[in-house]
Structure 1
Amino acid sequence: GGEACTLRFTVVRPEVGCLPEGRVQFLTHHTPDELWQSRWLNHPNTARALTDMLFCVEDPYEASQRYQRYLGRKAEPVDGGYVLALERGRLTLLAAERVTALLPGIHIPCVPFMAAYAIDCRSLGSARAVLRASGIDFVDHTHQGLTVPALPALGGTIAFTEDAGLPSWL
């Protein structure tokens, strides 16, 4: 092991009900070098970062206005909704019709719904091998990564990308 250290964060949580998409919170790491040590980051699937969240929302414009106020970031229009660029990723807000078109077979139990999230990997080949060895079904989008269809226990589709590539919904 290494020396003991104190990790410091600032967590921002909106008032309950302000963001109907869920109990959303954002945080800032004040000691990232202490937290993101290479010894903790070696996963067999080579995952290294959560890069994207996709929310299925009733009214993408209205949701984008709320998140612009909350995050202090500009929402840019995309087909069927909006995307907000963050320091280390993106938040995409799409209407149900667009989510269904982009993630065939997805079951949207309610709106709003956390439809998908993306994890960046060092190697899609390694991620592919781990998924196969674990018996987990996935769709291979070749250059746009892999997606694991939404499972009830996971809540949303998981996309694996490589080298900070865009997930299949962007």
Structure 2
Amino acid sequence: MDCLIDHIVIDVRDRMTEGAEAYRRLGFQLTPMGKHSLGSANHLAILGRDYLELLGTDVPGGTLRPDIAPFPVGLNGLVFRGYEAEALAAGQQARGVPVQPATAFHRPADLPDGTQQDAKFKTVRLDRSAAFDGRLYWCEHLTPEHVWRPEWQAHPNGALGVARILLSVRDPERQAALFRRMFGAEAVTVTSDCRAMLRAGDAVVEAAPHATVAAELGAAAADPAGRGDRMVLLGLRVRSLEETGSALRINGVPATGGQGLLRIPASEAMNATIDFMA
């Protein structure tokens, strides 16, 4: 089946205002806060065909949705594009993938033209024990016109789309085996240095050993906060690194340069390491 990134979730728990301020400093235009029928709140940074979601509650000290309550602040949701959610769930179950039944929900969306419409979704989630210490699922958009609005897709940092998701794992082959069941054997490759690579359209999902990830990220790494296998880095394609660097300097955000990228330490991005990539 097709493998495309739909969105990436950064949990902010009850620090929604802080999270929104942090990502605006990083140069993202955020949508107005939305409130799900499931009881959570979010802001989105809409990109070309995917997006980032800041997810939590808008009430400081408030109760979190049960499925996100166990997780710390930081990268937590790897979400693939879904279609025909009920058939997708049945197909994945037939492949031996432990998925839950499709769930339908919605949130009112305040649109740029001043109107309000319901954005409607269906999700198919994997059991928590099946993958890394986070959430892995598909999202079917029943009203994509209320999400991908041109007015929301322009960002001062020039972000265009998701390019790389890095997982830090004990056993990359275990993650590779799950991805093969989900998307087929041809979707996954394993490199000579034991990285499992899942091609997802223009993006790649990479599962690498803990030691390899620690060596790559160094002081820019997120606090694992008690997690084992976990999401650690989000890479985003940008129009130009010069444009991105200018936006970061204006807002006083520290970044380190590498070959073809600017890296934001997790301390500046709600416990998520961010790479802006040429």
> What letter is aligned with 2:216?
L
> What letter is aligned with 2:188?
A
Q: Residues of 2 paired with 1:36 and 1:51: CA distance?
A: 18
Q: Residues of 2 paired with 1:99 and 1:157: CA distance?
A: 12
> What letter is aligned with 1:103?
L
In structure 2, the residue corresponding to 1:17 is in which secondary structure? helix
2:198 aligns to what?
84
User: Contact (CA 8 Å) 1:21, 1:55: kept in 2 or not?
Assistant: no
Residue 130 (structure 2) pairs with residue 13 (structure 1):
no
**Once the 2 structures are TM-superposed, how far is the Cα of residue 4 of structure 1 from its aligned partner?**
7.3
2:245 aligns to what?
128
User: Contact (CA 8 Å) 2:222, 2:272: kept in 1 or not?
Assistant: no
Q: Residues of 1 paired with 2:268 and 2:167: CA distance?
A: 16
2:165 aligns to what?
53
**TM-score by structure 1 length?**
0.79
In structure 2, the residue corresponding to 1:160 is in which secondary structure? strand
**Once the 2 structures are TM-superposed, how far is the Cα of residue 26 of structure 1 from its aligned partner?**
2.8
Of the structure 1 ranges 5-14 and 150-159, higher mean CA displacement relative to structure 2 is found in 5-14
Aligned length: 161
Of the structure 1 ranges 127-136 and 11-20, higher mean CA displacement relative to structure 2 is found in 11-20
User: Contact (CA 8 Å) 1:114, 1:155: kept in 2 or not?
Assistant: no
In structure 2, the residue corresponding to 1:111 is in which secondary structure? coil
Q: Residues of 1 paired with 2:184 and 2:271: CA distance?
A: 27
User: Contact (CA 8 Å) 2:266, 2:274: kept in 1 or not?
Assistant: yes
Of the structure 1 ranges 20-29 and 39-48, higher mean CA displacement relative to structure 2 is found in 20-29
> What letter is aligned with 2:238?
C
Q: 1:112 pairs with 214, 221, 229, which one?
A: 229
Q: Residues of 2 paired with 1:68 and 1:107: CA distance?
A: 28
User: Contact (CA 8 Å) 2:132, 2:230: kept in 1 or not?
Assistant: no
Larger strand proportion of the pair: 2
2:262 aligns to what?
146
> What letter is aligned with 2:162?
L
Root-mean-square deviation (CA, aligned residues, Å) is 2.6
**Once the 2 structures are TM-superposed, how far is the Cα of residue 83 of structure 1 from its aligned partner?**
0.8
Residue 207 (structure 2) pairs with residue 93 (structure 1):
yes
1:69 aligns to what?
181
1:55-114 Cα distance to aligned partner (Å, 9 max, x none): 100100111111222344621112331110013422110001111222232356342121
Shift of the 80–152 alpha-carbon distance from structure 1 to 2, 3 Å rule, reads farther
2:271 aligns to what?
155
4+ residue runs over 6 A deviation: 2-6
> What letter is aligned with 2:271?
G
Which ranges of structure 1 fall in alignment gaps of 5 or more residues? 163-170
2:150 aligns to what?
38
Q: Residues of 1 paired with 2:202 and 2:255: CA distance?
A: 25
User: Contact (CA 8 Å) 2:195, 2:207: kept in 1 or not?
Assistant: yes
Shift of the 62–108 alpha-carbon distance from structure 1 to 2, 3 Å rule, reads farther
1:166 aligns to what?
none
> What letter is aligned with 1:129?
S
**Once the 2 structures are TM-superposed, how far is the Cα of residue 27 of structure 1 from its aligned partner?**
2.4
Larger of the two Rg values belongs to structure: 2
User: Contact (CA 8 Å) 2:189, 2:198: kept in 1 or not?
Assistant: yes
